[in-house]
Structure 1
Amino acid sequence: MTEEYTVASLDTFGARSELRVGDASYEIFRLSKVSGQERLPYSLKILLENLLRTEDGANITEGHIRALADWDPTADPSVEIQFTPARVLMQDFTGVPCVVDLATMREAVRDLGGDVSKVNPLAPAELVIDHSVVADLFGREDAFVRNVELEYQRNRERYQFLRWGQGAFNEFKVVPPGTGIVHQVNIEYLARVIFDRNGQAYPDTVVGTDSHTTMVNGLGVVGWGVGGIEAEAAMLGQPVSMLIPRVVGFKLNGSLPEGATATDLVLTITEILRKHGVVGKFVEFYGPGVGAVPLANRATIGNMSPEYGSTIAVFPIDDETIRYLKLTGRSEEQTALVEAYAKEQGLWHDPDREPAYSEQLELDLSTVEPSLAGPKRPQDRVPLHSAKPMFRTSLTDYVQSENGTADEASRESFPASDPPANDHDDPADKPHELISAAANASGRPSNPIKVDNYELDHGAVVIAAITSCTNTSNPHVMVGAALLARNAVDKGLNRKPWVKTTLAPGSKVVMDYYERAGLTPYLEKLGFHLVGYGCTTCIGNSGPLPEEISAAVQENDLSVVSVLSGNRNFEGRINPDVKMNYLASPPLVVAYALAGTMDIDLVNDPLGTDSNGRPVFLKDIWPTGQEIEEVVASAIASEMFQRDYADVFAGDERWQGLPTPEGQTFEWAEDSTYVRKPPYFEGMETDPAPVTDIEGARALAVLGDSVTTDHISPAGSIKADSPAGKYLSEHGVEKRDFNSYGSRRGNHEVMIRGTFANIRLRNKLVPGVEGGFTVNHLTGEQTTIYDASAAYLEAGTPLVILAGKEYGSGSSRDWAAKGTALLGVRAVIAESFERIHRSNLIGMGVLPLQFPTGETAESLGLDGTETYTITGIEALNDGQTPRTVAVKAGDKEFDAVVRIDTPGEADYYRHGGILQYVLRRMLAS
């Protein structure tokens, strides 16, 4: 796309107009020209403007615009619209495959006689390299420098490839490693709030290849996470097909009480919204309490939208938005445009206005209390005062008792599903037998395992990590953590020796204000040295535990704990040695590092003793809100942001010194184990082949409820005895150089071998076995899911997956869909789907089907040993999307609901996937 490119609107409503701001003049599309828009929620007004500006009479019509203006809040979503995001945001794990696919698409266009120069982003695309740093080293002065060195050693090929992409593609920019976390860089620098482009002013909207793209909702920007394949299509000018959603209005009143943090607020909101049910809906905050919520808190709430399931969780533009834009160094012209445009278009928050909402909730902020969430789901809030007894109750799901294994309900339930009912009348009165109610003098449990000069038991906190964009963007909780560290050091407290402590801020600005406030030495005294600017512990890049601790945990099957300030705590995600994971605010992360165990009542039990032997309680070192506010006010200035982002795309000498390939097409290295040309376009013709029914399929896996994309998509470390590990060994890679799945997302051979390989996956075809295993029905033998799939592919046998509720919940992960497709899966039959993954399956040519209402695999008598035939799919060839298809499974028959929800998705499926559809459109043009 050239700088002169603009979308030409038919302007049926005569909305095209002019807005003057100071000496500048902008073309805008006035919402006031559309009758009915005044009652719409903020978020739908943003969508309405998008349709007005992109009306083309085909994809976006007058009828679409009227349907949105006449939106019925009470109706179930049924009207499809085409949303054209202003830009695309990527992190490197998900971004590398996007660039790999674009590079491959250039070659496919060339091979089919097209012009390779057409394959460029048509909307600004920005990628932040933040997911590759691993917290290998910690608790030492050189941890950051050494971790970055290791990062470059491991990822040299990938980084060279991204540097090539930055030069080869127009409208594609890369923020190099060691800069910050994508979502924090987004709110601090990349987000425009209101775009100024080619003479037009319009709302900044974004889709991102990470589900936590919603963090930018706190800034008034409507945007959400999509799969990498959807993001690629958006970059190539394809609108995002969506149904006009229901909008939940969340009214805020009051203000947070002393001692409560933004993390406590977001965990409370997560619990409320998960309970209410907001999957696929927009959530919008309004009311008199909105003005009392600082921007950083709004960003924290928006960030965790995927944890409660909504598409977005947006705050409208107001004075706080403008204050934050000025603080983060945005120009006077930009902030003036944002304010003038928002007020002109009725997008400025009015605390007295109550738009039309589909559903309404309300929260008095003064009722929020200190909390955690865990041990395996972010929506399972744990009040701090109840953390000890609730931990003891949860422990029964993870350890063997003297009487045998934990109850069967626990073993059969899927990792992220609802916890089983517990027989304890009161867990505080009847603690788990493996943890005595009495603690020894050190405050540790009394049945410990001796390790060096200390003792470990169930509940030991072995990781305390201040990490992830969720909280590291928030100066108040970050300063709060540092002040708590200072107060603890002044009292003579220290972290327990078995705790791996890490600090991974979201941007360099955090360390700037720590230094300016003189707080860095106190954090380092407790072992919280800077380990990197990136998503470390929260995405599984926690690095290994010290060898002696890891050995003790594994040999004694200890259920140890991580406490992190992130947004995800699913089983098997944080560290392979850690079974129980709790989300907490940064100050509480520091507190648990001092305690060293979850088996403590932080409200009433002492953390330790001071130099005079007196007990020190959490309340003794917890900083006041006034203390935190004073440090934030004195230590943070806009010049910090201006300095740190002055040349953000240039990178340091390491980045600039990387040898960079040149040319419009990429020269693939045959021996590369990081970046390989994927097979998506092999044998592709100019016209798509007809859709066919599925015959003689076998079940690759039978899964339970809440199977997350973390269970499906390759993530974390690569084990030597896994199919991916064996592949790398066969290609001459030493085990120490395996790196993570995330770093090898550009190599489909590695990724398909890691699909469905999560160590906590429970496939009912192999009961009692955890991990990526199944039964090969051709031989009757138990084997890995990858090896079984290879055998099925060789035999020409199509595959299906059976699953329960909320299939594909969690982060948007393109490889959860890509891997599924490349394993030979033609259809997934589930009780329900999470929005993003369902869409991604279609984008890879996999058919999402739903069991009839009220039915499950079990109720239908299916155990996965059957042979499956699915008929009725071929109706798509006639331009129709069937409501149901007939499924014959052995001697059972039922009608499955087809979850192709929009005509656009039907087009993608007919073409075999979204990339093939886009490529054929480019060739046709």
Structure 2
Amino acid sequence: MSINSFGARRSLDVAGESYEIYGVDAVEGSDSLPYSLKVLLENLLRTEDGANITAEQIAALGHWDPEAQPSHEIQFTPARVIMQDFTGVPCIVDLATMREAIADLGGDPQRVNPLSPAEMVIDHSVIVESFGTPKAFELNQEIEYQRNRERYQFLRWGQTAFENFRVVPPGTGIVHQVNIEHLARVTFVHDQDGHKVAYPDTCVGTDSHTTMVNGLGVVGWGVGGIEAEAAMLGQPVSMLVPRVVGFKLYGALRDGVTATDLVLTITQMLREHKVVGKFVEFYGPGVAAVPLANRATLGNMSPEYGSTIAVFPIDDVTLDYLRLTGRPEHQITLVESYARAQGMWHDPDHEARYSEYLELDLSAVEPSLAGPKRPQDRIPLASSKQFFERTVPDYTSSPDVSVPVTLTDDRSFDLRNGAVSVAAITSCTNTSNPSVMISAGLVARKAHEFGLTPKPWVKTSLAPGSQVVTDYLERSGLTGDLDALGFDLVGYGCTTCIGNTGPLIPEISAAVNDNDMAVTAVLSGNRNFEGRISPDVKMNYLASPPLVVVYALAGTMDIDLATEPIGTASDGTDVYMKDVWPSTEEIESIVGSAISADMYTRRYADVFEGGSRWKSLETPEGKTFAWDVESTYVRKLPIFDGMPAEPQPAADISDARVLLKLGDSVTTDHISPAGAIKTDSPAGRWLSEQGVARKDFNSYGSRRGNHEVMMRGTFANIRLRNQLAPGTEGGFTRDFTVDGAPVTTVFDASMHYQDAGVPLVVLGGKEYGSGSSRDWAAKGTMLLGVKVVITESYERIHRSNLIGMGVLPLQFPDGFSAESLGLTGEEVFSFTGIDALNESIPSTVHVNAARPDGSDVEFDATVRIDTPGEREYYLNGGILQYVLRSMAASA
């Protein structure tokens, strides 16, 4: 029970039931706070304990200064944790490992349980092996279960062994769509001491796109898996109260403009505005014109523009969506009553105090793409041909090459740069949105009526975010049209957007690799970073689902869709994009008639049960897991091996070597293992040594529970450019433990350095670690022996994750970089002043880099441990070690 210093605890009557709430209006200044900060304020009121959360901290949040830079630390306690299986499996591996480790420290293994509700949706494991056939879904799911049986058995064990942990089985939907359609409560209720306590639904998730739930008014964001584990174990999330950007919307979208066009426009605006680490909050008269699905799409893309969240307040649109998705009427009444009582109901005429302001007239949004390698690089559709022609020379040495190709079915054609080799309706971003999914179906219907088909070099796929999408496409009669164009159902999962594209058509792959071609992928996703979609595809474009269908028909990015035909009709006439593009009226008519609440209630009635494949899996028993030392999927993580009951003091670091010297915009996709495992990579060689056949390598994501694979894949992205090994691309570096410092793999060099007792450093540029909340980007960095990372700036999640794994994040002095300081990566580094962390957080540590010629480079690097909580994690060697020691000490 909260201390209740402000007398905030009171009763709220909702349809005859009494709830206890903590009224934010008890705190002076709360009435003008942004919506998101009111949610944080309630969180502090409800969890005030006089130690970690004090009355002074609560009062300070009420008097939040929007102009000030973040400096006020709070301890945020999320209501729940949401996970997907790629990032979630390591969480459960760690919890299983902690059960054994706490026993070694004299504690009770069964104390290790999620204390907050934790839900996992298995959605990242399906790969598009089969496509363009009615059997694709079954064939892909069969392969998925064959490859992932060990992981799925482990997760079924976790579901029975751990309390407060539930799993949504494979083939059900994408985590973020399942979250908004079913798991999100919007207003949470918890029984405490015989009282029903109501409070805002908040969450943290092991995927950066957890922010999709912001569209429902739920304050939640992505964290590293290690932070999520700590939250599950009762540790609050330590954070600085952020600056809040108020984004005013007015007007309405024009006919023919999609939610994807809107989100790509706002992504570009916010990335240019620089919102990394900030909250973004939408308000104003245009909010009511933004459907819930569009709000969720905007929230989903928050990581792409770098904000922590991108939230919409609660209003009638929120309630209508809850009603549509089959939430109980009493819950909907509670949501409205609670929001109004707390001043969290959206008033378009009220403007809260914000740190910064942006605005957009929705009618100004135009059809757009983004690419070819970053989601914030918006391209007006009208300029896409010129942009492609201007940029393709950057991706191939032969911009004008034409390669004759003959497929196994004897179809022949000339393949050119810009050919669309992948056209995928995929990912949570857009498949949650009925308007763009129905629009894609209508484009397919019109194209089918003209007799159009995709070009033979295009790999097509449809991977909806939930089974409800299949229901309304069926009810509207659009499934057959999509199937006719090769957009058959391939699975319910993230697929292409996370690199589970599967192999290209073999003849296309051979032509591309033999001739250094720059073919393209068009997908309705949120990520298009280099090397992410397919190792064969250099140029990736984000687009709306209907535009994905159009590009599949056109078959090339080298086209002006306004003036050039996308195909030839059965009667020989040219067909243009305008001939197949549906009107807003057509879309809304079908959306209104084809979707109903019964679809959601039926599909989610037994969402945790799973089908026959899931139920037939043999499930291990016991409170601790019986590790299989031969397993290539799930292995006990060694981070707790030999851990003492008390941490060693922080100490200075001497004689460190640079493992990698990297440039700007190095993402967690570059750092963390993802996508396919190459045969000749360190991970591929290790799997071969274990007797795993090449066809069974699966993906890095599916093997995230095995540190032997993952550490070998860290910094191994095929597009990574390590300036320490110029002329190479991929996971290569120089090994200074060997005479002549030859070029070798990052993993092999790391092992030599660790054998020699040499600590390692990574040098980076701006926005280091942007991208998904990949815990393995930090875990792998730590396991490779990296002790310090020095960059010009960090993305929020990765910096936090590095600390969570005991790696010290430093920042070059303002205005300086590795280049301006003359650092080449050949220096020997020493760091002094780290030991000051034993007492407090120093602002800087001194860095000495000794050059091979005997001269030195010296500078003071900024310490990016930002809060006392992060300092405790670092001193303990990581957040999990801190939690484990705390649990053992309180036994």
Classify the TM-score, shorter chain.
Answer: over 0.9
Match of 1:855 in 2: 816
Greater than 2 Å deviation, 4+ residue runs? 447-452
Which residue, out of 765, 780, 788, partners 1:827? 788
Identity of aligned residues (%): 71
Q: 1:915 maps to what in 2?
A: 880
Q: CA deviation at 1:556?
A: 0.9
* Residues in 1 aligned to 2:454 and 2:729: alpha-carbon distance in whole angstroms: 34
Q: Are 1:275 and 2:240 matched, yes or no?
A: no
**Kept after mapping to 2: 8 A contact 1:799/1:825:** yes
- Cα distance in 2 for residues equivalent to 1:373 and 1:140: 29
Aligned mates of 2:737, 2:847 — CA distance in 1:
21
Which residue is 2:577 aligned to? Answer: 618
Secondary structure at the aligned position of 1:829 is classed as strand
Which residue pairs with 2:404 in the alignment? 449
Who is 2:707 aligned against? Answer: 748
What CA distance in whole angstroms lies between the structure 2 residues aligned with 1:693 and 1:649? 49
2:846 corresponds, among 886, 890, 893, to 886
1:316 matched to 2:313? The reply is yes
Q: 1:846 is matched with which residue?
A: 807
Cα pair 1:449 1:457 within 8 Å, conserved: no
Instruction: Please give the alpha-carbon distance, in whole angstroms, between the structure 2 residues aligned to 1:643 and 1:139.
Output: 28
What is the CA-CA distance between 1:876 and the residue it aligns to? 1.3
1:43-62 equivalences under 5 Å are 43-62=36-55
Aligned to 2:594: 635
Secondary structure class of the residue paired with 1:396: helix
Amino acid aligned to 1:88? V
Query: What amino acid sits opposite 1:766 in the alignment?
Result: A
Q: Is the 8 A contact 1:294 1:320 kept in 2?
A: yes
Aligned 8 A contact 2:186 2:200 in 1: yes
TM-score (norm 1): 0.94
CA contact (8 A) 1:157 1:675 kept: yes
Letter in 1 for 2:365: V
Which moves more between the two structures, 549-558 or 225-234? Answer: 549-558
Partner Cα separation in structure 1 for residue 275 and residue 463 of structure 2: 31
Residue-by-residue CA offset, 1:122-153 (whole Å, 9 max, x unaligned):
10000000000000000001000010000000
CA contact (8 A) 2:403 2:511 kept: no
Residues 188-241 of structure 1 show CA distances to partners (whole Å, capped at 9, x for unaligned) of 000000001211100000000000000000000000000000000000000000
Corresponding residue of 2:624: 665
CA distance in 1, matches of 2:679, 2:387: 36
Map of 1:112 onto structure 2: 105
Given that residues 405 and 507 in structure 2 are in contact (C-alpha distance below 8 angstroms), is that contact kept between their aligned partners in structure 1? Answer: no
Partner of 1:688: 647
Query: Residues 340-396 of structure 1, C-alpha deviation per residue, up to 9 Å, x if partnerless?
Result: 000111000000000000000000000001000000000000000100000111112
Q: Judge conservation of contact 1:451–1:552 (CA < 8 Å) in 2.
A: no
Query: Which one-letter code corresponds to 2:116 in the other structure?
Result: A
Could you report, residue by residue, the CA deviation over 1:138-174 in whole angstroms, capped at 9, with x for unpaired residues? 0001000010000000000000000000000010000
Pairing 1:473–2:439 present: no
Whether 1:327 and 2:324 are equivalent positions in the alignment is yes
Q: Secondary structure at 2:722's aligned position in 1?
A: coil
How many Å separate the matches in 2 of 1:521 and 1:349? 41
Q: Is 1:648 aligned with 2:607?
A: yes
Deviations 1:883-924 (A, max 9, x none): 100100011111000000000000000000000000111111
Question: Is 1:792 matched up with 2:753?
Answer: yes
Partner of 2:722: 763
Deviation, 1:258, is 0.4
- In structure 2, the partner of 1:285 is 282
What is the identity, as a one-letter code, of the residue corresponding to 1:18? Answer: S
1:354 aligns with 2:347: no
Question: Is 2:198 aligned against 1:201?
Answer: yes
CA contact (8 A) 1:316 1:349 kept: yes
What is residue 897 of structure 1 aligned with on the other side?
Answer: 862
Per the alignment, residue 5 of structure 1 pairs with none
Tell me, yes or no, if structure 1 residue 575 matches structure 2 residue 534. yes
1:218 aligns with 2:215: yes
Following the alignment from structure 2 to structure 1, what is the Cα–Cα distance between the partners of residues 532 and 231? 29
Whichever residue aligns with residue 262 of structure 2, its letter is L
8 Å CA contact 1:451–1:549 kept in 2: the answer is no
Please state how far the C-alpha of 1:451 moved relative to its aligned partner. Answer: 3.4
Deviations 1:678-735 (A, max 9, x none): 1110111111111111111000000000000000000011111111011111111111
Match of 1:179 in 2: 172
**Is 1:27 the equivalent of 2:20?**
yes
Q: Deviations over 1:517-550 (max 9, x none)?
A: 1110100000000000000000000000111111
Give the number of equivalent residue pairs.
Answer: 875
Amino acid at match of 2:743: Q
Name the stretch that deviates more: 207-216 or 15-24.
15-24
Alpha-carbon distance between aligned partners in 2 of 1:10 and 1:545, rounded to the nearest angstrom = 60
Q: 1 CA distance for matches of 2:438 and 2:214? A: 23
Residue 422 of structure 1 is matched in structure 2 by none
Question: What secondary structure sits across from 1:605 in the alignment?
Answer: coil
Deviation at 1:448, TM superposition (A): 4.3
Residues of 2 paired with 1:612 and 1:179: CA distance?
42
Cα distance, 1:455 vs structure 2: 1.6
Question: Residue 449 of structure 1: CA displacement?
Answer: 3.3
Aligned partners of 2:759 and 2:786 also within 8 Å: yes
Question: Quick one: distance in 2 between partners of 1:505 and 1:483?
Answer: 16
Equivalent positions of 1:530-609 (< 5 A) are 530-609=489-568
Q: Are residue 393 (structure 1) and residue 387 (structure 2) matched?
A: no
Using the TM superposition, give the Cα deviation of residue 614 of structure 1 relative to its aligned residue in structure 2, in angstroms. 1.7
Report if the CA contact (8 A) 2:397-2:516 is conserved. no
| Map of 2:156 onto structure 1 | 163
Structure 2 CA distance for aligned equivalents of residues 131 and 796 of structure 1: 37
The 8 Å contact of residues 758 and 772 in structure 1, kept in 2 or not, is answered as: yes
**CA drift at 1:450:** 3.3
Residues of 1 paired with 2:801 and 2:875: CA distance? Answer: 14
Whether the aligned pair in 1 keeps the contact of 2:248 and 2:358 (CA below 8 Å) is yes
2: CA distance, partners of 1:611 / 1:540: 36
For the residues of structure 2 that align with 1:657 and 1:318, how far apart are their CA atoms? 44
Shift, 1:609, TM fit? 2.1
3-state secondary structure, aligned to 2:366: coil
> For residue 860 of structure 2, what is the amino acid of its counterpart?
D
Per-residue CA deviations over 1:232-266 (Å, capped at 9, x if unaligned) read 00000000000010000000000000010000000
Q: Residues 332-343 of structure 1: matches in 2 within 5 Å? A: 332-343=329-340
